[in-house]
Structure formats: structure tokens, C-alpha cells
Amino acid sequence: MTKSKFKPPYWYHDNIKFSDEDINKLKNSLLEEQYNNKDIIEHKTSYNHHPNFRPDRFLNKHYKNIIDDITKKVGIYHLSKYDYFFWSQLYQINGYHGPHNHTGEKGVDFNADISWVHFLDVPEQKCFRFTDTKGNILVPDEQSSGDIICFPSWVWHEVVPLETDYLRLVTAGNIGFTSHDVLYSYDGPPLNSAGIKKHYT
């Protein structure tokens, strides 16, 4: 059997745990009927609600610093301007989320470049996995409560059905870079359209 070479780009950011009070407050809010996913009743989400009215908006006090740190670790914090938004998901037993990516996200005025998932309070089952159109999968090891993973927004991923009655709570979000500063100026020989130095004799 040939070993799969499927290696989607992603990276582990950190393990950051929120208080039990914050976790329980968000779980209880998402259990309200208004946050039911229309297609999957066991999957609750704030995604379809305006950010100003989402039950997770109180977590922005944490995520501003977390997003800043993510951009610092990839070396672009001082070189870019960026926006971000996030939403929360609560999975009950049998809850799942089919294959998708975060390009072309609705309700935002920027393109998603980096996406992330924060496993706020999750069971031992590793439900999150990366996938592609050929059926390849990769299950990240970093799926304990508090873990944060990041990946390019075009990467396909999914959540397989939850097999326990432990309520699985995550937040997910996107970072979009709205402008970039020039890293350096080039004073050498003229470049052709491929960015290769032109040589003159």
C-alpha cells in the first residue's frame, strides 16, 4: 500500500485555555434554537448572525491579542494591515461539518488569507481533519482543549460526526490582509517580466 503524500500546509500556534465561566456561558448561549444549523440540528453555529449580535462577541477581548500574535509568528505583523472575524460552533452527538474551505466567505469586506480553529472545549475524539478532492485526509494531532491551529484559507477541511455526548465547542475565524508594505527596494539591473535580472553586454 502506497503511503499518502498528502501534506496540507498548517501550523500549530499555541494552547490557550479560557475560563470555565466563559466556556459555559458560550455553550449555554449556542444551545438556543436561533443558533441551530438549518441542515444539521446537532451542529450549532453563530456564523449566520451579525458579529455585533453573536453570543461569542465577548471573546474578542482575547482574540485581538491572539490574532496579533499569529501575524507576528508568520513575520508580517509590522508589514501589513489586516482585519479578522470569528464565529463559534457547538457540536452535539452526531454533529458534523462537511468538506469546505474559507475562501469567498460571505458577510466580510476582505478576502480570507489565514484561517484558524481554536478547540475551546473538546472531547478526546479528533473530529477535525484536512481533506482534498481525491479523498486524502490528514488528522492533526493538535486537537486538545485550548489548542489553536492555523492554515491557508483555501485548504479544504471537515468535521466528522461526533461520537460522544460531550458538547464539542470551537471557534473558527479568518484573517484578511488589506495592505502590505514594501519589504525592500531593489537597485540592481532591470528585471524582465519573470523577475529575472536582465544582463547587458
pLDDT in tens, 188-199: 555 444 433 333
What local confidence, expressed as pLDDT, does residue 107 receive? 58
- Compute the chain's Rg from CA coordinates: 20
CA distances from 10 to 33, 92, 135, 140 (A): 34, 26, 18, 9
What local confidence, expressed as pLDDT, does residue 201 receive? 28
For each of the domains in the chain, give its residue range(s) and CATH number, in order of start: 11-180 (2.60.120.620)
What local confidence, expressed as pLDDT, does residue 37 receive? 80
What local confidence, expressed as pLDDT, does residue 190 receive? 53
Q: Which residues of the chain have pLDDT under 50?
A: 1-3, 182-186, 191-201
What local confidence, expressed as pLDDT, does residue 129 receive? 97
What local confidence, expressed as pLDDT, does residue 195 receive? 37
Q: What's the 3-state SS for 33-85?
A: HHHECCCCCCEEECCCCCHHHCCCHHHHHHHHHHHHHHHHHCCCCCCEEEEEE
